[in-house]
Structure 1
């Protein structure tokens, strides 16, 4: 038999609602709270990573366009884990392979350079956006998980009414409150995840655009050198 709750502030507090909840609702609440913590950890880490990446990318491109010797610059930056440095390395490596032979196919070299750096850009963007799918999943699934907890909690509340044979507010309110609390936690996890996913996706798109601009500029530089080849 479900207990008859007293309608007071202590009973209706979030901690009390969690303690009083059915084990299924507790499991739902615990999972949603864990998802919320995980979401905020990703948001904080990813935001810091994007800021650092934009700052270092600006520095890298500034140094690159000031460099007089591409090979010397590549020796300095070849070990960098910066996405623009990896795109740069992909272009340099393809350039060396394509111009190593005596006869140079200029059209084929240009195509291979574009393909190689384009693939490097796509790989870097995929690695950068790897954690965003977690935010998308939490944002889309958490409300429904919370709703499941709410439905289960309301079922339990009605069972309590039937067992107590009393439909007064003191009997109904705690069970309904703990059920709705599950939905609230679901929204608490989902709303930041959706907002962060949209904002961070926009940031990744800006990084991708910057990488593509750099790749296009580097391709143009190599293409000019290619025109000077016999």
Structure 2
């Protein structure tokens, strides 16, 4: 019986065919290129190597996104304060405090008023002004107070709705701006193929990747803006309904006082 080690030593080691060796070398080279390309693929490089029009689109979207986030945080603070002030004033209003004392507190020069307290101050001031005039019936007095409250409520709601239009515009326009940058970048990438004899996916992939970053940035700017606009618009509408309900209730109180 021939030992296994002797058999292995006696076996001649033949070299790989030349074609197989070239195929193996080519496969290793392609794998190395893919690994290298994958390592270099990052957002910063894609932005820096993009064409000038695409970079301009990205810059516009970046400014729009930053401005949107600034408005989002500021608007949240403003709306939270409006709801908190409305709750505090309603608690004082329905606690049985005299209207004259509430009006005196609202007209103090040491502090600024807003929201529901501003509506109350405008209505009570106009009601008192109408009562001081001679020959004015109760209906006219009440209409004057209601008119003053409507003006004050409209002014307060305008302040709450400020900059919401910007969020709506960013949410609706940013995807199209990003799409414009993507189309422009892809167009440049395919236009560059005209000077090449052989075109592969590796030739156009970098340009397409750079162009697609513009669409991604457009969505990054649009999604938070749309979410914030829908949320804040609903909250403003809810606060406006609260103002209207208070104005109607206060008008009923003034109507009873005008008939005394």
Between the aligned partners of 1:117 and 1:62, the Cα distance in structure 2 is: 19
The CA RMSD measured in Å over matched residues stands at: 1.6
In the alignment, which residue of structure 1 is the partner of 2:61?
A: 32
Q: How does 1:193-204 map to 2 (within 5 A)?
A: 193-204=225-236
Between the aligned partners of 1:27 and 1:150, the Cα distance in structure 2 is: 12
**Runs of 4+ that moved beyond 4 A:** none
Between the aligned partners of 2:155 and 2:164, the Cα distance in structure 1 is: 15
| Residue of 173, 191, 201 corresponding to 1:159 | 191
Q: TM-score, normalised by structure 1?
A: 0.91
- The alpha carbon displacement at 1:99 in A equals 0.4
| Partner SS, residue 68 of structure 1 | coil
| Residue of 202, 205, 216 corresponding to 1:173 | 205
Deviations 1:145-187 (A, max 9, x none): 1111011101111122223444212211111111111011101
Between the aligned partners of 1:195 and 1:171, the Cα distance in structure 2 is: 38
Contact in 2 for aligned 1:10/1:16 (Cα 8 Å) = no
Q: Is 1:70–2:109 an aligned residue pair?
A: no
Q: TM-score, normalised by structure 2?
A: 0.81
Between the aligned partners of 1:164 and 1:42, the Cα distance in structure 2 is: 48
Larger Rg: 2
In the alignment, which residue of structure 1 is the partner of 2:50?
A: 21
| Residue of 51, 61, 85 corresponding to 2:117 | 85
The count of corresponding residues between Structure 1 and Structure 2 is: 223
**Residues 49-58 or 130-139, more deviating:** 49-58
Contact in 1 for aligned 2:78/2:160 (Cα 8 Å) = no
- The alpha carbon displacement at 1:69 in A equals 2.0
Q: Is 1:130–2:162 an aligned residue pair?
A: yes
Between the aligned partners of 2:121 and 2:52, the Cα distance in structure 1 is: 55
Q: Is 1:52–2:84 an aligned residue pair?
A: no
Note the residue ranges of structure 1 that are not aligned, 5 or more in a row.
Answer: 1-5
Note the residue ranges of structure 2 that are not aligned, 5 or more in a row.
Answer: 1-32
**Residues 42-51 or 174-183, more deviating:** 42-51
- The alpha carbon displacement at 1:59 in A equals 0.5
| Residue of 243, 246, 253 corresponding to 1:211 | 243
Between the aligned partners of 1:81 and 1:156, the Cα distance in structure 2 is: 57
